[in-house]
Chains A and B, each alone.
Chain A
Amino acid sequence: MLARIGLEAGDEEFYADQLSGILEHIDRLQQLDTEDIPPTAQVVEIASRLRDDEPRPSLTQEEALANAPAAVNGLFRVPSIQEET
């Protein structure tokens, strides 16, 4: 449910079987003592770089909406997320 992917009947067992096989392989990581090892946050050393904060052209509203499955009044349309009061 966290992944927000719907499953069909029977899918759950299919994926559970496959994923437990993969997780079993992954469990070998627990054999390693990593107590004093830092995690890799960034694999190459690249100096932190900031771009100048200058206005520049971006997508027009029309371009941004060009691929929208549903749009209305220049906005993306989604099902209502609040009940009407």
Chain B
Amino acid sequence: MTDDLTQLTIKDASRLLRLGSISAADLVTAHVQRIERLDEHVKAFLRFTPELWERQANEADRRIRQGDAPPLAGIPIAVKDVLCVRGVETTAGSQILKGFKPPYTATAVARLFAAGAVMLGVTNCDEFAMGSSTENSSYFPTRNPWDLERVPGGSSGGSAAAVAAGEAMISLGTDTGGSIRQPAALCGVVGMKPTYGRVSRYGLIAFASSLDQIGPFARNVDDAAITLSLMSGLDPLDATSSDRAGMEVLNNFGAGVKGMRLGVPREYYDVKGIEPGVKAAIDAALFILRQAGAEIVDVSLPHTDYGLAAYYIIAPAECSSNLARFDGVRYGMSEVDAPNITEQYLETRRKGFGAEVRRRVMLGTYALSSGYYDAYYLKAQKVRTLIKRDFDEAFKKCDAIVSATSPTVAFPIGSKTQDPLSMYLCDVLTLGGNLAGLPGISVPCGTSDGLPVGLQVLGPQWGENVVLRVARAYEEASEMKAQVAEVV
């Protein structure tokens, strides 16, 4: 019985809660028991928040009894270790922030709390969200619930794995180059990156500020949609947040794909390194979408080959600037006994940052340095314009774009850690969406060699409802609802 409660959707759980068949406390207990049984294998969580879950579950039960339950009352969530929660240790997967307890809560999280969600804990991720496998966490790697010898993807690997393993009903991640969609694909769950500006970034430990967005993981499209709608909207604390109503993401999203034009970019379809099994799963998905009434059209994104290069200038440049704040003075790890301030900086950052973070800070500092700025950063920002124009052109011919989310299924732990470029190529189909600020989702679309494959749907800016509509129609037509992994 208690394990059954970890397989529920928000809709089903909410119905049972309102009927009084179960309590929010029961839901928490079921998830905590499953975590106790499985998380020593999956290692999705870095830390747990028992004081919060007790208080929030009690509050949810009280509101439900009073008959004024908010939309997520009692729903257990997990939060990536880059989103600040007041008083809860938040470290961005890094040693440099060990022990840091934020004095405020990220807006996206606060909104879900206000909607009644119950926080179970903090999930593992690549250090400062830099990576595609969660192996760059300075604590431990998270494992893929479908095959414990493989990575869950990243950087939001802990959040994806927690939902896939039934350890949380929904979770939050962040996506700078694919860090929600790629782990969602590799773990067989739904993961959505909103349009840049849809969700406030206040309280997010910044990686690359012009690319970062916060988004949900869930086991079906409805749950992702409702969660996104509740965390969206204007926030005076983030000047880039949009004043569009959060609820607009739900407009018409159950309308099906009949008559819609779905573009397949040939550069994505035949991307270098795509596995035959992934391609076969995408072909099957395109067939199902056509059967459901969509028109599949050929489109082109001619600058795809330059996307990775532009991304690996812009993201490291912004990160080198954002991470300058970790100087050992105001928070986190510090070499307080250093003989002078420069030594304090050097030693704090040498000890506090892992290899990937150091690589990107060095790369970004180089790209921004005097004499190289025009050749690297300015050039990359111009290429970013070309990539955005590619998408603008494509969306004249189609309503949404469909492709694989990741060229490969989950890969063995350790197989890409020695070659940074091979790891970066994991995001080749997702990072264009970040460079162009587009909304995108990954939904499960079958398996290859027994491992999950994800279908990516990208829409024009502010077209979350279009993206969700295609994803939901596919989910319904394919009957490919995300499963909960047995793990052991």
Q: Inside 8 A of A81's CB, which chain B residues have their CB?
A: 340-341
Report the Cα distance A70→B210, complex, angstroms.
33
Report the Cα distance A37→B382, complex, angstroms.
6
Output the least CB separation between A37 and chain B (Å).
Answer: 4
B100 CB-CB contact with A under 8 Å: yes
Report the Cα distance A5→B323, complex, angstroms.
11
Write the chain A residue with the least CB distance to B102.
A67
Write the chain A residue with the least CB distance to B303.
A32
B306 CB-CB contact with A under 8 Å: yes
Output the least CB separation between B234 and chain A (Å).
Answer: 9
Contact of A69 among B312, B313, B328 (CB under 8 A): B328
Most interface-central of A2, A28, A63, A69 (chain B CB within 10 A): A69
CB-CB contacts below 8 Å: A1-17 with B? 2-8, 15
Of B13-21, B215-223, B290-298, B357-365, the one touching chain A: B357-365
Q: Is the CB of A46 within 8 A of B242?
A: yes
Q: Inside 8 A of B344's CB, which chain A residues have their CB?
A: 78-79
Please report whether the interface of chain B is mostly helix, strand, loop or mixed according to DSSP.
helix
B195 CB-CB contact with A under 8 Å: yes
Output the least CB separation between B455 and chain A (Å).
Answer: 24
With A51-B236, A69-B333, A69-B334 as known contacts, state yes or no: A28 contacts B436, CB within 8 Å.
Answer: no
Q: Inside 8 A of A51's CB, which chain B residues have their CB?
A: 236
Q: Inside 8 A of A40's CB, which chain B residues have their CB?
A: 381-382, 384-385, 388, 435
Output the least CB separation between B16 and chain A (Å).
Answer: 39
Q: Inside 8 A of A4's CB, which chain B residues have their CB?
A: 324, 327, 342, 345-346, 349
Output the least CB separation between A15 and chain B (Å).
Answer: 6
Q: Is the CB of B388 within 8 A of A66?
A: no
B454 CB-CB contact with A under 8 Å: no
Output the least CB separation between B159 and chain A (Å).
Answer: 24
CB-CB contacts below 8 Å: A50-67 with B? 51, 59, 63-64, 66-67
Q: Inside 8 A of A28's CB, which chain B residues have their CB?
A: 305-306, 309
Contact of A39 among B336, B369, B384 (CB under 8 A): B384
Of B168-176, B266-274, B276-284, B372-380, the one touching chain A: B372-380
Contact of B312 among A6, A25, A77 (CB under 8 A): A25
Q: Is the CB of B388 within 8 A of A26?
A: no
A80 CB-CB contact with B under 8 Å: yes
Q: Is the CB of A3 within 8 A of B306?
A: no
Q: Inside 8 A of B240's CB, which chain A residues have their CB?
A: 42, 44, 46
B121 CB-CB contact with A under 8 Å: no
Q: Is the CB of A25 within 8 A of B309?
A: yes
Q: Is the CB of B341 within 8 A of A79?
A: yes
B160 CB-CB contact with A under 8 Å: no
Report the Cα distance A67→B379, complex, angstroms.
39
Report the Cα distance A34→B379, complex, angstroms.
7
B53 CB-CB contact with A under 8 Å: no
Output the least CB separation between A25 and chain B (Å).
Answer: 6
Q: Is the CB of B210 within 8 A of A43?
A: yes
Write the chain B residue with the least CB distance to A63.
B103
- Chain A proximity mask over B69-103: 1 for CB below 8 Å, otherwise 0: 00000000000000000000000000000011101
Write the chain B residue with the least CB distance to A26.
B309
